[in-house]
Each structure stands twice: as C-alpha cells, then as structure tokens.
Chain A
C-alpha cells in the first residue's frame, strides 16, 4: 500500500530539552521525519520546547510550536491545528508518554486524531514492565526470572524457579541496604535472611543475576505487511550491569556465532510482533550467557531511540526517515535505499568496517555524585568512530572523546585491578594501563567480565598502539552493503590500509569544510551542532560543496543529507588534516563547533589551511586576558578588576589587589568548568588546593560584581560594520553561569539608553577584533555602569535561541559573511527585537540523575539542555519556560521560603504577592519572622537540624508546591542543599534566586488571571518579519 491519502496534516512531537538519556538523537530523528512528511506532501505541525534544535527551525514544519510538551498545551495545539494524525515514535520517551496521556484523557478521540507509527496498546505492552513480561511469556520468550518473597520458606521455593546466581534486594530500604548477590544455596539463605531482616515490610526481591552476561541490541523494523528486517546488531563491550548508554559498544556484534546471532534475530522479530508495533523501528535488548547460549529478553523500545540513531549512522540506513514513511502507509519494499538508489529499503545492511561508540561523561561537574556506572544512565554525550578493524575504530573512538584531562592511572597493579571491578568512566584507560604493565587478559577477564575476544584486541592495541594504524590513511565509503552496490551517498570514514584507495569523488567544485563539535558534553551541546548544520545549508546555497567533519552520532550534522560530503572522523588535528588532504577546501569554518574546532584553528593555520571568517589571531586576542584587557582600555571600556596567576602563591598575592569576592577559573574553558566564586583568602586557598594550576597554566581571578545584572549580546560583523542580533538579560543575578541562567529577550528591566550603550560597546569590540561572523559579548551591569565580562568571537550557545526569538537565522547570516558577503547584502531588520512577544530561555539540569550532588546554581555550568517559552508578556513566557523545563509553577497550594538575610526584603515582597494570590506561606524561623513582619501570615517550619517534623520531610510528604531557597554560599552539606535535593527528588519547582522568585510570582499571578496561556507558532510570531 503506498502513501495514505486520507491523512493531510500530521502532528509530530519532539523530545524537549536535552537531558541525560534523551539527547540530540531525537533532533536527528525528528528532522528526518519532518523532511520526509513534507516531501510526501503532508502538512506538518511540530511541538518541541527545545529551541536549540534544527527541527524547530520554521522551515521544517508548516507550524512550529516551541511550547511545553505537556498534555495541556499540546491539547490546545491539537484543537487549534486539527491534525489528522499524531506520530509519537520519533520524540523519545517524552513523546511516547505524552501521546499516551493524550489518548487517556480523550483528547485524541475528541479531535479525531489517529495515532500512527505505534498504537496505544502496543506502547503499553512495551512500556509497562508487567505487561511486557506477560507478553514475552505468551510469545514463549525468556526474561530474567524473578520473585518476591516474604519468608525463608518462600525464598527456597522461589530459588527453584529463579536459579543461582541471584541478586537479592530487600524492599523499601535505602540504596538497597541489606541486599547482595548469592552464588550458592548457603549464601542465598544467609543473604535472604539478612534482607528480610533489613526490610521494614519483611520482603525481598529475588532476581536471576545476569551480571557478566553479554549484552546485545538489535534494531528491528517492521512494515504493515509484517515484513521485518534487522538494521544493525550492537554488542556492548561492557557486559550486563552497565546501562547501554554508558557502555562502550561495537557494531556489528563480534563474538556470537552465526547460529546464536540468528537466534537473537528470530527472537527480535518475535518481540516486535508480540508487542504489536505494526510499523516502524524498535530496539530489543538481550542478555546472552556465552557458556550456556541462554538468551534472555531484557527490554524493548517501541520507537526510534538513541541506539537506532547510532545504528543509522553506523550503517547508513536512516531508521527515522524510513519509520516516518512506514507510518504513512509505505511498505519497506516501496522505499528506496538512499545510499544505493538502486535497491529497496527491504533488506538488511551489511558492513565491511567496525563501529565503536564511546560515552562521554561529566562527573567532574557534580561534586559528590556517585561515578559508578550502573543500570542508571549517567553519560551526557557520545562519540562514534569507524575503522577497518576493531582496533582502528576503538583507537579513533578514544581520540574522539576529547577528554579535558587524562585519566589518572597511577597506583599498584592490584589497585588498578580493583578499580576495574567497578565500571567507571575511565575503565578502559585503566585497562590499557594494566595491559601495558603486562597483566594478562585472563586476570582482566576475571575482574571485568569482558569477553576475551575484546580483551585480546584491547591488549594488542594497548601494548602496540601504532600497529593498527600502520600503512596509509584511506577514505572508505559507508554504503549499507559492503561494496556489493555502488554508493551514491558520499559518506566516508578513514581506515588504514597497505595502499591508498580513496573512494572520495571530490569533483571540481569548491568546497568549504565545517568542523563539528564532537561528543556532546555540558557546555558544548546541540546548540553548536545547530550552528554547524546552518553553516552546511548556507555553504550549499552559495553553490559550494559543504563538507562536514564530526564524530557525534546523535546529531543532525552527521546525517548524510546535511552536507555534500560527510566525513565521520575524530576532531583532532591529525584526523582533520587527513580530510583536508583529500578535500583541499577553499576554507575551513571553525567558528561554529564550540571549543573543539577552535582548539584546532592554530594548527590548521600553521599547516596552511585557510580559516574562514574571524582570524585565529583575533580569537586568541579575545581569549588572552592581557591582550583583551589592553583592547578594552584602548576602546575606553571597563572590565571588572582582574589578575592572572600561574601558581598558588601568585594567585594568593594577586587576590587582594583585585578585591573579594573573586570569580576564579582556569584559562581556556567552556561551560565554566572549575569556575567558582570565593569570598575570602581562605576560600581561595581551598579552591587552589583542589584546582592547582598545572604546568604553568593560567588561573584567572576576576572581581565578582555582586547584585549585577548580566546581559549576553550576540552580534554579526563583516569587519566593517556590526549588527546586533539580540540581547539576553539573565533572570538570575550575576554569578550563575549564563548557560544555567534563565534569560529573557528583549531585556525586561534595562532602559533604552542602557541597551543603546550595550549595543555601542558590542559594535566597538567586534570591529576592533576584526570579527567576520558572529560575536557574543557578556556584560555585567551594576549601578548603571557597564562592565565587559568576556567576548567570544564565535558562535555561542545563545545563537539558536536568539535566532528563534528574533526570527533571523544568525548562524546562516554569519556564514554568508564568512563566505564574503557584507551585512548590507543580508537584508537584516533594523531592530530585530522589536516584535510584540517575549522569549524566555530556561536551563534544564540533571540533578535528578546525580542525587548526591548539590542542586544549586553557580558559575560552573551544569545544565544539559534548555527550553524556550514564548508569549505576549514576560510572566507568561517565564511560566511557559518553567513548565517546559519540568517545573510547572503551581497556581495554588503552599510555598516555602528560606532565604539569606540580604534577600529577606525581596522575600517579603514575593510572599505578599503569593499570599494575596491565595497561597499558604511557610518558611524557616528567620524567614517566617521577616515575612510576618510585614503582616503576611507565615508558619514556621523546622530546619533539618532542629528536628522532626522538618522541611525536608514536608517536601517529601508532598506538602510543599513551590520552594524558594537562596543558598548561603557554603558547603554542599548545608541545609539548603538538603532542601534542594529533596525538592528535585519530589519534582517540586525549586527557585534559588530572588529575581527568578519574583518572575515566578508574577507568572503565577498571570496564570491565575488569564487561564491557560495562548499557544503560538513561530510562523505566527514572525509572520511580519522576513525569514531569510
């Protein structure tokens, strides 16, 4: 059956902000779906709260709603747009859950919206653990066996069923206290008895242990004719016990015999059929016991997933694109394989290279967080590498990680082996070290459970790292078919062979190379990929070939559709020069991929590679404190007092000259890594002890301006003239990293004269630096005075948000300038912020993943993603952004305040507003007293130290609907930290600055007055401005 003509308008749900476990892969899949459905002639309505996505670019849908992914707003959008169908399988768990809610609350039925791609019952069978287990049992498939027992007698009966070894977990104990693993019957009796004792309800869960079993994933596709194919097999090098998102994985699977692999394949089909996913892609995970060849089904995702993005990039088979076509009626055989353009999509990709995926972690950002890798995903990004052999791929993947610092592999052999027993972010660095020291694979096998095949390869790579890369770098094509058919899609990776045999057909057209941003990490995420994709579009539109170099499999930039030629390579100088050698580009764009390409700029320039746009020297000028300070002096602009030190003593000496409080940080960092505010010499000494300057690297000390308002200004410059694209006022006071701060466009509390001054200063800096392209300048405004905090002559994190807020694609404009056009050629609006709407950006933080870490904001960036709220007024936009970020503000209930003394006046005002709005107000003793002082009733609650019943208990029991808590600025174990942690755990919005507290109060009042906020599409908002 070909295209369904009974559908006209289709609603696609995105996945919202980037969070751990749900990242840029859903932008990639969503973009593919939007493109395909538009190509097929459908009208596309899109909802996604994440402005940093390509999918929310207005050109990808007919109506783009940057609105919260919540049943209320989406129901409003459905009522307004009246789509015929909803495609929920491309926006991760968020979209799937939302679709379920919309079905359950009757919205879909009420407006006659059909769920396509997956049906409600199938979603339930896959997502509900019990239903899934029943479904698997009915299909005759095995899952890990388990039982719940309440006595030793029951436990012994259960053992017959479950079999040794088992994991015993007492019910309702914190952190599994009293549990353990039993390998013998004797151990079992002992641990069960202990567990029953530890459990307050005398109950333990007994699970068959699959720790140490091999973990495999198969990506399955099914069409409405019930034809099924496997797109890829993925093997986790880390055995069962580590979340697949945190595992180093390899495709195709390496260690299974064909016979055993086919058994998994058969079962994967049984799973997708039993669950009832009628069309589309699913991911099925298996545990395999290599000794007994026992196969257990672990779980399945009835949708496009992180693994399917990886499988698509690994094989060239675009799962999301094909899933979208299947959802609107096509069969696999009716869809062309893009790569060969001669064969249908009804086939199974086969490859002639090896793919390794490596997770990227950010534990250094979360002091106190438990860094053990478990079944709970903790990585924030990933890199993928391809090679002709496993060792080539693994070596390239290691290079692709771009670690900020080398792993510490010191210690005795035994210490290292002990570290290997606990899966960790640096597990393979340690493993390499023990191999280098001559430890055998059998010993490592015993400690890690990693399959000997991998250990043999890894030992060879560790002890002889050059052997795998002997010969010549040669660029091979990714073609889905191991060269059986000619590849039409230019998607390449480098391998090393005896003789060069490059498959690149370069043609004669001039090319421009765009360097991507590598694995996502905190401080360098999807925003930069967004800019790189825009650069590719612009280069293509200019008539040149766009050449993309990147190693992040989640992204739109590494979709082979995005550029004319895609090179899936690590972003190291050597690897990039390898691509330069075959491409001979007219120029390279390093401005758009964050720090990753910037770090390569100097080396590229020295190698004679032309850098487009702002010169390498200008970038250095802006980064180098001394030079930049001289430039500001020359322009008559002010910066906060600062000093640069290269040793602990130098830093302590310089501190008094600069004056406390101080903002300290190491040089050349993105995302405020290791940046802190210190209030005293002792505080500084403590910081320096933890972050001692290494090898003469610089430490910056800046005077921290308390109570200043921070502003981000993004501008375009052609070297002769500069144009202000947008200004963002931070909602939080200075001291919160701009990436973590809520921001408003246009600035809500600065007058026109101040805006004009910021504009003047930005233009002066841009021209003085000789910027060609983008520049971002950060200011602090204190007592009517402007201080320049820093200037970044490159695309910054704010570009996508501003572009969407003002309706001008800044990255595209910047790219045109870099390619030689002038600002005058760009037809830019005079005042891009003149629209009648307000946009608010809010950061999304991963504290729910790192429950042990303090949930307070500071100068070190810790957010993983962002959302945008757009409305006709600031309070409504702020409320939308809060709701989109997962902390919807309450409209009634109880608000709890506890603030530092300096914030007490502001707290009184907020309390009064919320009291008038019908809220019950509670506070800790001091705060309550202050609030009662202005005649607002306020009950006092105990601090934790004051004993039960205290505030943390109140939050945990659901008594509190909103927390406003400003930190005292000291240690992580403070009361405030406990309060914030409890709020995060309970899902209660927790506001940590007075200015956002005030914004929240105003938003609550606005919501009470106006009911649900109006939903607005970007196309409506920017109907008057001309999109370029």
Chain B
C-alpha cells in the first residue's frame, strides 16, 4: 500500500494514509468524533474551526453531500482524517461526492488511516496539535509547522467565524432573538425561525448597548469554537445583559454564561464529540441522548470538574441563586446551568442536533414559550 499522505501529532506519533482531499497540508488541534453519520454537518459546524476532525466510523461520505446538510456557509474543519473515505455520488438528493467536494473546497483529507489507533492514542494522551501532510512534506518541516501552531488553550476562534455585521433571519411579528454569533450553526437558527422567531445574528464583539437598542425579546448565546476563557469581552457583554433580557444558550454559549456568573471553565482531556452522550436533567430525571461537540467544560461551584449527585447543585451568583441543572452520565461533567432569580439558562449539548438525535428539540419550544411569557 502506497502512502501518499500522513498524520503527524505533536508528540511524534505518525499514521500513514492516502491523500484524498485538496493537495495541501493543514495543522491545528487533532480531535475525534464518534458519530457514525452526519460528516457534512460536522465539517461545516463553525465549532470545529481550528481543528482537524478524525472520524471514528470508517466509511465517511456514503451519501454524498447536499445543501440540506450545511451547518454554515462552508467548511470550518481544517482537515479530515478517515479510515475509508467514500466518494459516492448516486444518493438521491445529493449534489455531489464527498471527496470531490473536499477537493473543491480546498480541504486536505486523508484516508486509509487506522483511525481507531489514532482515537485510542488521543483518548489516552489527550487532544493535541498535529497536522495532515502530503507525503512530499518532510517530517521535519511538518514538525515545525505543528510547533508554530498556537495551542487551543487561550485561543479566540470566535472572532474568525463571527459575521462582520448583523444578519437578520426570519420575518414576521414573532419574538426577536438577538443571537451573539460566536459561530452559530444553521440548524439552531432554523429551529428558532421555524417556531416563528426572528433572529438577529450579531458579531460577537457587539456591545450590550447596541444589542439592547434593537430591543430584542431575548438573547441567545451561540455555540462556537475555541477556548471560552479567551472571550472575556463576550462574557462582559453578557453580564450586562443578564437580568435585562432572558438569556438562553448552547455549548460555547453555556460556557460563557457560566463564566459570566462566576464559574470557571477547563479543557477536557479529549473533548466530547459525537451523537450518543447521555445527559440527565437532574430536575426532572429525564435522560436525553445528545449531540455533543465541545473541548472545554464548566467547573462546578466548588471547583470540582464533575458532579457526583443526581440533583441540582445550588449556588449563589451576582445575579441571585443558580443551579447546575444537567449532568453528563458518561463523565459526570456539567451539561446545564439555570439562573433561578432571572430568566437565564444554558445547555452544553446540541438540542438542534445536526447531526444527531432529536431528543432535546423540545428545548426550543420551552425557550420560546419562556420568552413569550416574559414578553
């Protein structure tokens, strides 16, 4: 088997394969996702900015690509690492082959990699920097390129994916939602709009005053890439909005609200990326199978990275009482936050799915009902 490309990690671990995407190299944080389908949704999710995605499932590309599976206007992952990349073009409704599309979009990709070995390595050694390189790039050059890449810790990637000006989606007299767009997924916008909302996507550096001027019915904190600790400017904006407007948020938005109420965030060893994580709502006892994509998580009020009890953890914040409302049953990390004295709450996972299960779709209904009640 000829190797025409390779994956190199910052610790020197190397995996060979064949180049199937754009003829270029890419460096960044190497992460893995365990979802078995939804590859197009993943690579177009802005939360993957700065990262190279390893797909744990071998066959990727089975049903081609289509407009319906776009989570943003383009690909945000820097490269794709696969065991068995497929360029199938015959699926009804698809607009083309997956590998053709990666080439057209200029994304390097490698196939034939023992992705399970790679995933096991990351699982035990942690997510790390690395790159996908054509065989023509020497290992020493590759090593230099990796070394030159800044670490994900402390990285502000939101600014690279946020719009430069406000974009309005939806119309009508439904509630106006001001979304602080740190890299929002199209599915989230679609869910809000489908329920009658009008959504303004604000650049993430927008001030609270500017947002308040638009007189929104609620503020939505979006998902997005990078380290939440690097986004103090957004946290500050948020602190100025909490209590004034109902706030809801997902993923990075959840981490930012947590920071806004005084909680810390930390980098998970290898993140949560997949569509099968069980999350328990400790207020109701219900369990949802969730779509996840995050490398950082929220530290509990006592400083613990995990929650051992199956009940809400209450604590005091500058905005009154709050509680941790959801827990990940895999590693017992925080999955939800709720403020009790003001209308605000966030979740770590992805109720919009895209890709993944629909178990948490109802949260969009709950959110818009709450907004209407407040309004």
Q: Evaluate whether A352 and B56 lie within 8 angstroms (CB atoms) in the complex, with A258-B37, A483-B123 already known.
A: yes
Known: A229-B289, A261-B37. A482 touches B56 (CB 8 A): yes
The stretch among A88-96, A239-247, A495-503 that forms the contact with chain B is A495-503
Residues of B within 8 A of A470 (CB): 1
- Do the beta carbons of B66 and A257 come within 8 Å of each other? yes
Q: Does A900 count as interface, using CB distance less than 8 angstroms?
A: no
A135 vs B357: C-alpha distance in the bound complex, in angstroms? Answer: 24
Given the interface pairs A291-B92, A348-B276, the reply to whether A498 lies near B119 with Cβ below 8 Å is: no
Is B44 located at the chain interface by the 8 A CB criterion? no
Q: A254-B59, A258-B38, A352-B116 are in contact. Are A389 and B83 (CB under 8 A)?
A: yes
Interface residues on A, range: 35 or more
B203: Cβ under 8 A from any A Cβ: no
A237 to chain B, nearest CB (A): 14
Q: Are A346 and B329 in contact (CB under 8 A)?
A: yes
User: Once the chains are docked, how many angstroms separate the CA of A226 from the CA of B287?
Assistant: 9
List residues 340-364 of chain A with CB under 8 A from any CB of chain B: 343-344, 346-354
- Contacts A257-B63, A258-B355, A388-B84 supplied; 15 other A-B pairs, CB < 8 Å: A255-B63, A257-B93, A258-B69, A262-B358, A265-B358, A333-B280, A346-B278, A346-B280, A346-B329, A350-B276, A351-B57, A352-B34, A389-B58, A389-B84, A452-B90
A868-B182 Cα distance, complex, nearest whole Å: 70
The reply to whether B34 and A484 form a contact with Cβ atoms under 8 Å apart is yes
Contact bitstring B318-359, A, C-beta under 8 A = 1, else 0: 000000000001100000000000000000000001111110
Which B residues are closer than 8 A to A by beta carbons?
Answer: 1, 3, 16-17, 34-38, 41, 56-59, 62-63, 66, 68-69, 83-84, 86, 88, 90-93, 112, 114-117, 119-120, 123, 274-278, 280, 285-287, 289, 329-330, 353-358
A343 and B329 within 8 A (CB) = yes
Q: For residue B65, which residue of chain A has the nearest CB?
A: A257
Q: Can you list, as one digit per residue, whether each of A204-243 has a CB less than 8 Å from chain B (1) or not (0)?
A: 0000000000000000000001110100000000000000
A259 within 8 A of B: yes
Q: Which 9 A-B pairs have the closest CB atoms?
A: A258-B38, A482-B56, A258-B355, A482-B34, A348-B276, A258-B37, A452-B90, A497-B114, A483-B119
Across the interface, name the chain B residue whose C-beta is closest to A455. Answer: B90
Query: How far does the Cβ of A987 sit from chain B's closest Cβ, in whole Å?
Result: 45
Distance of A471 Cα from B18 Cα, bound (Å): 14
What residues on B are CB-neighbors of A349 within 8 Å? 276
Bound complex: CA of A486 vs CA of B116, how far in Å?
12
B68, closest chain A residue (CB): A259
Alpha-carbon distance between A499 and B17 when the two chains are bound, in angstroms: 11
Q: Once the chains are docked, how many angstroms separate the CA of A265 from the CA of B289? A: 11
- Distance (whole angstroms) from the CB of A340 to the closest CB of chain B: 9
Q: Are A497 and B117 in contact (CB under 8 A)?
A: yes
Contact check: which of A257, A350, A456 meets B274 at CB < 8 Å? A350
Contact status B62-A388, CB under 8 Å:
no
CB of A409 closer than 8 Å to a CB of B: no
Residues of chain A lying within 8 A (CB to CB) of residue B276: 347-350, 481
Q: Which of A298-336 contact B (CB under 8 A)?
A: 332-333
Among A344, A471, A474, the residue within 8 A (CB) of B278 is A344
Cβ–Cβ contact B287 & A257, under 8 A: no
B91 and A498 contacting across the interface, CB-CB below 8 Å: no
Q: Knowing A333-B278, A333-B280, A347-B276 touch, does A255 contact B62 (C-beta < 8 A)?
A: yes
Beta-carbon nearest neighbor of A391 in chain B:
B84
Contact of A453 among B90, B117, B275 (CB under 8 A): B90
| Interchain CB contact (< 8 A) of A350 among B36, B287, B354 | B36
Q: For residue B123, which residues in chain A have a CB less than 8 angstroms away from its CB?
A: 483-486
**Interface residue A266 (Cβ < 8 Å from any Cβ of B):** yes
Chain A residues with CB below 8 A from B69, complex form: 257-259
Q: Taking the complex as formed, is A252 at the interface, i.e. its CB lies under 8 A from any CB of chain B? A: yes
Q: Is A476 an interface residue (CB 8 A)?
A: yes
Counting CB contacts under 8 A, is A390 at the interface? yes
Q: When the two chains form their complex, are residues A256 and B88 in contact, meaning their CB atoms are under 8 A apart?
A: no
Residues of B within 8 A of A259 (CB): 68-69
- Pairwise interchain contact B287-A225, C-beta atoms closer than 8 A: yes
Cα–Cα, bound, A257→B92 (Å): 11
* Residues of chain A lying within 8 A (CB to CB) of residue B35: 258, 350
Give the shortest distance, in Å, between A256 (CB) and chain B (any CB): 7
**CB-CB < 8 A to A482: which residues of B?**
34, 56-57, 116, 119, 274
Chain A's interface: helix, strand, loop or mixed, by majority?
loop
Q: What chain A residues lie within 8 Å of B62 (beta carbons)?
A: 254-255, 453
User: CB distance A262 to B357 under 8 Å?
Assistant: yes
> Which of chain A's residues 465-490 have a Cβ closer than 8 Å to chain B?
470-471, 474, 476, 481-486
Chain A residues with CB under 8 Å of B274's CB are: 350, 482, 484
- Tell whether A293 is near chain B: CB-to-CB under 8 Å: yes
Return chain B residues, CB-CB under 8 Å to A332: 287
Quick check: B116 and A476 within 8 Å, CB to CB?
yes
17 contacts between A and B (CB under 8 A): A226-B286, A254-B59, A257-B93, A258-B35, A258-B37, A258-B38, A262-B357, A344-B278, A350-B36, A388-B116, A389-B59, A474-B114, A481-B34, A481-B276, A482-B57, A485-B330, A486-B123
Q: Find out whether the CB atom of A262 lies under 8 angstroms from the CB atom of B16.
A: no
Across-interface contacts of B3 in A (CB, < 8 A): 498
How far apart sit A456 and B287, CA to CA, in the bound complex (Å)?
40
CA distance A501 to B123 in the complex (A): 15
- Using known A-B contacts A262-B358, A343-B330, A484-B34, determine if residue A390 contacts B116 with beta carbons closer than 8 Å: no
Given that A333-B280, A348-B276, A349-B276 are known contacts, is A388 also in contact with B58, CB under 8 Å in the complex? yes
- Of the residues B34, B38, B58, contact of A354 by C-beta under 8 Å: B58
Chain A residues within an 8 Å CB radius of B285: 225
Q: How far is the CA of A474 from the CA of B117 in the complex (A)?
A: 11
Q: Which residues of A lie under 8 Å from residue B91 when comparing CB positions?
A: 255, 257, 290, 453
Say whether, besides A258-B69, A350-B34, A388-B116, A266 and B358 are in contact (CB < 8 Å). Answer: yes
CA distance A258 to B123 in the complex (A): 25
Q: Which residue of A lies closest to B114 (CB)?
A: A497
Report the bound CA distance from A259 to B353 in whole Å: 9
CA distance A486 to B69 in the complex (A): 32
Q: Give chain B residues whose Cβ lies under 8 Å from the Cβ of A344.
A: 278, 329
Contact present for B286 and A227 (CB under 8 Å):
yes
- The interface residues of chain B lying within 8 Å CB-to-CB of A476 are 116
CB–CB B114/A262 < 8 A: no
A483 to B123, CA, bound (A): 8
The residues of B that contact A354 with a CB separation of less than 8 Å are: 58-59
Bound Cα distance from A39 to B58, whole angstroms:
38
Query: What is the minimal beta-carbon distance from A786 to any residue of chain B, in angstroms?
Result: 60
Contact, CB under 8 Å: B120 / A456: no
A390 touches B59 (CB 8 A): yes
With the chains together, A733 CA to B17 CA distance in Å? 65
A698 vs B341: C-alpha distance when bound (angstroms) = 89
Is A498 touching B287 in the complex (CB atoms < 8 A)? no
CB distance from A769 to the nearest CB of B (A): 47
Please name all residues of chain A whose beta carbon is closer than 8 Å to the beta carbon of B277 when the two chains form the complex.
347
- CA distance in complex: A876, B157 (Å): 81
Give the complex CA separation of A48 and B329 in angstroms. 38
| B41 partner residues in chain A, CB cutoff 8 A | 258
Closest residue on chain A to residue B276 by CB atoms: A348
Q: What chain B residues lie within 8 Å of A256 (beta carbons)?
A: 37, 63
Q: Which residues of A contact B56 (CB under 8 A)?
A: 350, 352, 482-484
Chain A residue nearest to B56 in the complex (CB): A482
Q: How far is the CA of A258 from the CA of B43 in the complex (A)?
A: 14
Chain A, residue nearest B63 (CB): A257
Nearest CB of B to A223, in Å? 9
Please tell me if the beta carbons of A471 and B329 are within 8 angstroms of each other in the complex: no
Q: A352 with B278: in contact, given A255-B63, A259-B69, A484-B34 (CB under 8 Å)?
A: no
Greatest chain A CB density within 10 A among B36, B83, B123, B275 is at B36
Nearest chain B residue, comparing its CB with the CB of A345: B278
Docked Cα-Cα span, A290 to B123, in Å, equals: 37
Q: Are B119 and A352 in contact (CB under 8 A)?
A: yes
Q: How far is the CA of A481 from the CA of B116 in the complex (A)?
A: 11
Query: Quick one: given A256-B37, A352-B57, A453-B62, are A498 and B1 in contact (CB under 8 Å)?
Result: yes
Cα distance, A481 to B285, chains bound together (Å): 24
